[in-house]
Every structure is written in C-alpha cells, then in structure tokens.
Amino acid sequence: MNEEDQYKNRIELLQGTLDMLILQTLQWGPQHGYGIVQALRLRSGDVLQVETGSLYPALHRLERQSWVQSEWKQSESKQRARYYRITAKGKKQLVSDLGRWERIVEAIGLVMYVKPEESES
C-alpha cells in the first residue's frame, strides 16, 4: 500500500471526528493550520497528533462546504498565515456533530459497561 492510500484511509477513519475537532478548535477563535495542530495536541494532553496530510484536506473541504472561512493575516510572530474562522453554518454543523458524537459514545458505553449478570440472563 502506498503513502497516499494511507493518508486517505486515515481521513476516512477520522471523518466526522476530525471535522468536529477542527470546528471545536475554531470555536475558541480564528486559527491557522499549525495552530490547530498545536491546540489539539495541547488540549488532548499530547494524545491527538493530527497528520498534516489529513488536516489540510479537511480544512479545504470544510471551506468548500462553507463551514469555515479563511483569510490571510499576520501572526503575533509576524508570520503571514492563513487563518480559518468558523461560520454560522459551521457552528450548526458542530452542534449536530457533537450530538452524534455523544450518542455514539453513549451507545459504545452501553455496550462496553454492560453488567455481567444482565448479559447472562
């Protein structure tokens, strides 16, 4: 399997989840790609390491779906960078993504934390 396929698979794996994480990160304010990677890493306590090969396609896809908007701005360190901002449509999407995510977590929890005697009956 070559490199591109690996990336693609990862995008599929994280589809929805990655979108949700990106949108959530942008809730706290406009951010550039590098900033999003750092923010996710910090907030997740160094657990979530987003690959650039997943991040940038996802950002560009979100922009195409009008869930985010982008503009070029100077960063604090005088670096010109492309900042992404969440749109009203994106916020709505985030809410529905979050709702789905919670249902999935709940459902998985129901399966995983089943009491032994109940399962035997």
Partner 1 sequence: MKWFPSFGFQRRKRELQEEVDAHLQMAIADRVARGETAETARQAAAREFGNIPLVQDVTRDMWGQAWLEQLGRDVRYALRQLRKSPGFSITATAMLAVAICANSTVFSWIDGTMLRPIPGARDTGDLVSLQRGERNFSPTPPFSYLDYRDLREQNHTFAGILAYHHDWITLTGGAQPERAYIANVSANYFDVLGIKPVLGRFFLAEEETRPDAVPNVVLGYSLWKTRYAEDPAIVGKSIEIARHPVTVIGVAPEGVVGAMPGIREDLWVTLDPLGTDVWRMTHRDADWLNVIGRLRPGVSLGTAAQDLDTLMHHIVAAYPDQHLGDNRITLDPMWRSPFGANGYMAATLPILLAFAAVVLLLTCANVATLTLVRFVSRRRELAIRQSLGANRIQLMRQMVLEGVVLSIVAGAVALVLTSWTSKTFAWFFPANSNPLILNGSMDHKVVIGIAVSSLLVGMLCGALPAWRSSHAPAVEVLKAESASISGGSRNRKLLSGLVVAQIALSLPLLLCSGLFLRTLRNLAGANPGFEQDHILTASVGLNIAGYSHDEEQVIRHKILDRVSALPGVKVASLTDWIPMTLGQKKEDAYPEGYAPRPHESLKVLHAEVSPRYFESLHIPILEGREFTPDDDEKAPRVLIVDQTAARRYWPGQDPLGKELRVWGSLFTVVGVVRNSTHTFVNESPEPMVYMSFFQAGYETMVQVKTEGNPVDLAPAVQNAIHEVDTRLPVFDVRSMRENTQIASSFAVIQSTLAGMFALIGLVLAITGIYGVVAYRTQLRTHEIGVRMALGASRVDVLRLVLLQGLWLTGIGLALGLAFALGLTRIIVRLLYGIGANDPITVVSVVMLLGAMSLAACYLPAHRAMRRNPVTAIREL
Classified as helix, coil or strand, 84 is strand
Stretch that binds partner 1, among 6-14, 22-30, 103-111, 112-120 (CB under 8 A): 6-14
Q: Does 66 bind partner 1 (CB under 8 A)?
A: no
Q: Does 61 bind partner 1 (CB under 8 A)?
A: yes
Q: Does 8 bind partner 1 (CB under 8 A)?
A: yes
Buried b (16+ CB within 10 A) or exposed e, 80-113: eeebbebbeebeebbeebeeeeeeeeeeeeeeee
What's the rounded Cα separation, in Å, for the pair 108 and 40? 23
Nearer to partner 1, 28 or 34 (CB): 34
Q: Does 28 bind partner 1 (CB under 8 A)?
A: no
Q: Does 91 bind partner 1 (CB under 8 A)?
A: no
